[in-house]
C-alpha cells in the first residue's frame, strides 16, 4: 500500500472549504479523472473514474467525519484505497487542506504510473483546482454538517 500526502492553503474560511468538500457530486468540476460521484447515502458514494485510460467504478464509505476538521473514507469494492482530508485554519482566515491517500496500484499501467509519480501530481493538481474553484466562488455550493 502506497501513501501520498499533499497540502494546499486556500484563502477561504474553514467552514466554507469543509462544506464544499462535503459536496461530493461537485468533484468532477475540479478533480481530473473523476467523471461522476453519486451520493447514495450519508456515508456511501458511487464513483466513476478514468485515469490514464483505466476506467473504474467503485463505492466508497465515509468512516469518520467531523465538521470543519476531517473526512476519512475507504473503498468498499474496486481499487483498494482510503484516505483522509483535514481542514485547519490559517492566519488571515484561510484554510490548510491536507489530503492523504492510501492506495494499492493495480495492473502494469497503474504500477508504472505510481513509479513515475503520476498519482502524486494528479492529487497536487486536483488540490490546486479545488483552491481555484472555491476561491473564485468564495461560497460553498452546499453543505452537510453531520458527524460520522
Q: What is the pLDDT of residues 81-94, one digit of tens each?
A: 999 999 999 999 99
pTM for the structure as a whole: 0.92
CB atoms within 10 A of CB 88: 15
User: pLDDT at position 15, please?
Assistant: 96
Tell me yes or no: is domain 2-22+62-137 CATH 3.30.530.20.
yes
Q: What is the pLDDT of residues 6-51, one digit of tens each?
A: 999 999 999 999 999 999 999 999 999 899 999 999 999 999 998 7
* Residue 119: pLDDT band with limits 50, 70, 90: confident
Could you give the CA distance from residue 108 to residue 69 in angstroms, rounded to a whole number?
Answer: 36
Tell which wins on pLDDT, 69 or 2.
69
Give the residue carrying C-alpha cell 476538521: 69
Domain boundaries, the chain: 2-22+62-137
* Residue 112: pLDDT band with limits 50, 70, 90: confident
Give the residue carrying C-alpha cell 484516505: 83
User: pLDDT at position 111, please?
Assistant: 73
User: pLDDT at position 63, please?
Assistant: 98
Tell me the pLDDT of the chain averaged across its residues: 92
Amino acid at each position: 500500500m502506497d501513501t501520498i500526502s499533499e497540502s494546499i492553503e486556500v484563502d477561504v474560511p474553514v467552514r466554507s472549504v469543509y462544506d464544499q468538500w462535503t459536496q461530493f457530486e461537485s468533484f468532477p468540476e475540479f478533480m481530473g479523472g473523476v467523471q461522476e460521484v453519486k451520493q447514495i447515502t450519508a456515508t456511501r458514494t458511487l464513483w466513476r473514474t478514468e485515469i490514464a485510460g483505466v476506467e473504474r467504478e467503485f463505492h466508497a464509505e465515509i468512516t469518520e467525519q467531523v465538521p470543519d476538521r476531517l473526512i476519512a473514507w475507504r473503498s468498499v469494492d474496486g481499487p483498494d484505497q482510503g484516505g483522509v482530508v483535514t481542514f485547519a485554519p490559517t492566519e488571515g482566515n484561510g484554510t490548510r487542506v491536507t489530503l492523504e491517500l492510501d492506495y494499492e496500484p493495480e495492473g502494469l499501467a497503474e504500477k508504472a504510473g505510481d513509479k513515475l509519480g503520476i498519482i502524486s501530481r494528479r492529487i497536487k493538481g486536483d488540490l490546486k483546482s479545488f483552491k481555484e474553484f472555491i476561491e473564485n466562488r468564495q461560497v460553498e455550493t452546499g453543505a452537510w454538517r453531520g458527524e460520522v
